């Protein structure tokens, strides 16, 4: 009772200061909600209202956004109790991904800065804090629902009771095979990159900060803004070649030898160890691929495609014996789509929705969209998941038209729907119970809302 009274006093005093500021035409911000011992400010709402990811919200943003922030604070409080954490590496990677999405939506970095009224540095800093909270909330939700299961009988029973026109519509899906050549990189170009990295090592040994060099020169966009730091990761979270060298480091003052991974060439420095996880900083440099070498690979692929079309050998045999893509070569070129399921596991399928393929490679999606089933594409250039330039021909193996889901054909998708429904019910119940035991105070001007969870402040 004493704590609740103190919070009410703080809230009332804050409102008094705001009223005074309003009377003196000096308004800077305003406390609109208090949840537990955390305040929600009007500026928090305005900031999210300008965020491109919130522009499509349904309902009044001045009702929806404060409530979502309040719910977030319930989860964050529980996460602190349960010691739920996320790494900087995970946050930075997500921030860079979202910034790229925002830039694409806005049209340019300059337009995004104008829209957000912030510099790119300020946008990154704000997104880092916001996504740290969002990712922590996601981890907390996963923990709350980790024991939720669903049986095949539950899936069949749930969808048996639905009318056919209420069954989910499965978008068009495709199965794609690719045959890949990696453009030749001259030995002198590889030697140049290695020498460049050795030069950075010498500068570190002479007293210059590794972090500063990473900010200036690393080509890993996700970590360079953090001075090359990756956050606490285990061996399995890293490229095997990188991990072998990184986890052999014992002295934080030393810099590793130059190591080659699927992403390029690195030098690495140990930051700290925590059990079987460690934090490293690194500098990544990629050899430059000359246009002449890209053209040579495209020309060779053009000849290979002609041989396949004249049935000298099959596309699948070409993938097995010619392709230089480790991920698909042993699968006759067939691409696999790894998707996270609602229970936190991974589902592997050969089917891609076109939006999923576009997220993986816009270049590949554009080509596949023009192909007929069984058709082999002309050669084209694309960037793979390791951010390397590769040359490719693609074959559309199958196209599954959009259709109403059926238990026999789309069981895994339907299982995810039922599982997600059960988890949502668990989360809803948790929020309602948490509301009853958490102090909430809402500014009078912000109460006239049709909230998703009506129990706030009661």
What is the separation, in whole angstroms, between the first and last Cα of the chain? 15
Domains defined for the chain, CATH in brackets: 33-147+421-446 (1.10.4030.10), 172-184+290-401 (3.10.50.40), 187-285 (3.10.50.40)
- The pLDDT score that the predictor gives to residue 14 is 42
Report the range of poorest mean pLDDT among 81-95, 278-292, 399-413: 81-95
Is 13 a residue whose pLDDT tops 90?
Answer: no
pLDDT tens for residues 141-182?
999 999 999 999 999 998 888 888 888 888 999 999 999 999
The pLDDT value recorded for residue 458 is 63
Q: How many CB atoms lie within 10 A of CB 296?
A: 15
Q: Is the pTM of this model over 0.75?
A: no
pLDDT tens, 307-318? 999 999 999 999
pLDDT digits (tens, 9 = 90+) for 104-146: 777 777 888 888 888 888 888 888 887 888 889 989 999 999 9
pLDDT for the residue numbered 26? 46
Position 338 pLDDT exceeds 90: no
Greater model confidence, 19 or 270 = 270
CA distances from 376 to 301, 308, 392 (A): 11, 8, 11
CA distance to 117, 214, 371, per residue, from 47 (Å): 10, 31, 43
**Nearest-10 crossing angle of helices 42-50, 61-81:** 110
Provide the 10 A C-beta neighbour count for residue 326. 9
3 state SS for 193-206: HHHHHHHHHHHHHC
Separation of alpha carbons 177 and 336, rounded Å? 9
pLDDT of residue 385: 84
Arithmetic mean of pLDDT over the chain: 87
């Amino acid at each position: 009772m004493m704590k609740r009274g103190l919070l009410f006093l703080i809230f009332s005093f804050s409102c008094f200061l705001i009223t005074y500021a309003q009377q003196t035409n000096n308004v800077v911000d305003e406390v609109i909600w208090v949840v537990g011992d955390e305040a929600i400010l009007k500026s928090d709402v305005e900031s999210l209202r300008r965020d491109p990811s919130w522009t499509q919200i349904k309902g009044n943003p001045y009702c929806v956004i404060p409530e979502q922030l309040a719910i977030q604070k319930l989860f964050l409080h529980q996460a602190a109790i349960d010691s739920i954490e996320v790494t900087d590496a995970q946050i930075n990677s997500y921030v860079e991904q979202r910034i790229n999405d925002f830039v694409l939506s806005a049209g340019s970095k300059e337009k995004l800065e104008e829209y957000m009224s912030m510099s790119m540095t300020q946008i990154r800093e704000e997104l880092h804090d916001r996504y740290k909270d969002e990712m922590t909330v996601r981890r907390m939700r996963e923990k709350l629902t980790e024991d939720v299961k669903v049986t095949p009988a539950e899936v069949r029973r749930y969808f048996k009771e639905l009318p056919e026109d209420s069954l989910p519509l499965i978008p068009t899906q495709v199965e794609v095979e690719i045959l890949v050549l990696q453009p030749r990189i001259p030995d002198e170009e590889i030697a140049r990159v290695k020498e460049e990295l050795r030069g950075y090592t010498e500068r570190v040994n002479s007293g210059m900060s590794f972090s500063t060099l990473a900010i200036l020169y690393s080509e890993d966009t996700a970590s360079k803004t953090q001075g090359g730091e990756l956050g606490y990761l285990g061996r399995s979270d890293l490229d095997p070649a990188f991990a072998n060298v990184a986890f052999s480091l014992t002295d934080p003052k030393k810099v590793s030898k130059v190591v080659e991974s699927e992403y390029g060439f690195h030098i690495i420095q140990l930051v700290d160890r925590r059990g079987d996880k460690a934090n490293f900083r690194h500098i990544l440099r990629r050899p430059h691929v000359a246009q002449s070498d890209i053209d040579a690979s495209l020309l060779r692929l053009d000849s290979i495609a002609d041989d396949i079309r004249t049935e000298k050998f099959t596309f699948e045999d070409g993938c097995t014996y010619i392709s230089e893509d480790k991920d698909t070569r042993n699968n006759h070129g067939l691409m696999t789509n790894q998707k996270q399921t609602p229970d936190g596991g991974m589902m592997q399928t050969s089917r891609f929705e076109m939006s999923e393929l576009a997220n993986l490679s816009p270049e590949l999606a554009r080509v596949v969209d023009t192909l007929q089933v069984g058709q082999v594409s002309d050669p084209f250039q694309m960037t793979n998941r390791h951010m390397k330039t590769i040359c490719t021909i693609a074959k559309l193996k199958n196209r599954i038209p959009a259709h109403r889901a059926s238990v026999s054909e789309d069981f895994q998708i339907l299982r995810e729907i039922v599982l997600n429904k059960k988890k949502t019910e668990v989360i809803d119940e948790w929020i309602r119970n948490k509301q009853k035991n958490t102090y909430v105070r809402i500014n009078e001007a912000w109460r006239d809302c049709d909230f998703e969870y009506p129990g706030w402040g009661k």
